[in-house]
Amino acid sequence: MSDRLLVLVRHGQSEWNLKNLFTGWKDPDLSEQGVAEANEAGRKLKAQGLVFDIAFTSVLTRAQHTLDLMLDQLGQTRIPVHRHLALNERDYGDLSGLNKDDARKKWGEDQVLIWRRSYDVPPPGGESLKDTLARTLPYYVQEILPCVLRGERTLVAAHGNSLRALIMVLEKLSPEGILKRELATGAPIIYRLNADSTVASKLDLA
């Protein structure tokens, strides 16, 4: 049987995560801690003895940098890497670049909580989680999943909300269930899939 391996990793802490800013499609790099988290993720994957055939990431620097550092730790920098905006973080629209505390003062804590934690209510000018899933999921089905099912061992470095969309499908979570799912930065989740694309096993390296 081929090893239908899919590993998902949220990027390491970014400079804006550190400053408590809404990031979305803005493009800050990793913080020092984020670099350390990405390197540690690579070491954890190496300790599992994993070898990858292909990788996917977003068009944003923090995810690409995380992937590069992991592949460097793995000694696998020559594998093909596909970058696509379908894997970008959720677009926070008018909230992007704002301090989260300032946003609460401007719009009220309840409203900001709805934008951050509802499934289908987008912030002004931005995307809801439902919108993000509608962008991310077709790319997963058309580009990533076929690689996994062919036995190509696949590594995906992306973002909290784009990965939530994939996890929602993989783990058959409801909209309410996925909202409660927290993803640590730089923490690999290792899935092995059955031939019908359902999850055979899962290992969380957080």
Which residues are catalytic, by number?
11, 89
Q: Which helix (H) or strand (E) holds 189?
A: strand 189-193
- Fill in the DSSP letter of residue 142: I
In angstroms, the first-to-last Cα distance of the chain is: 28
The pair of structure tokens assigned to 119 is: 């499934």
d(CA 170, CA 8): 11
* Listed residue (76, 70, 77) closest to 43, CA to CA: 70
Q: What are the tokens at 34?
A: 């984020």
CA angle 36, 32, 26 (to 5 degrees): 110
Assigned token pair, 130: 């439902």
Tokens of 186: 């730089």
Strand 189-193 vs strand 199-204: parallel, antiparallel, or unpaired? antiparallel
180 vs 161: CA distance, rounded Å:
12
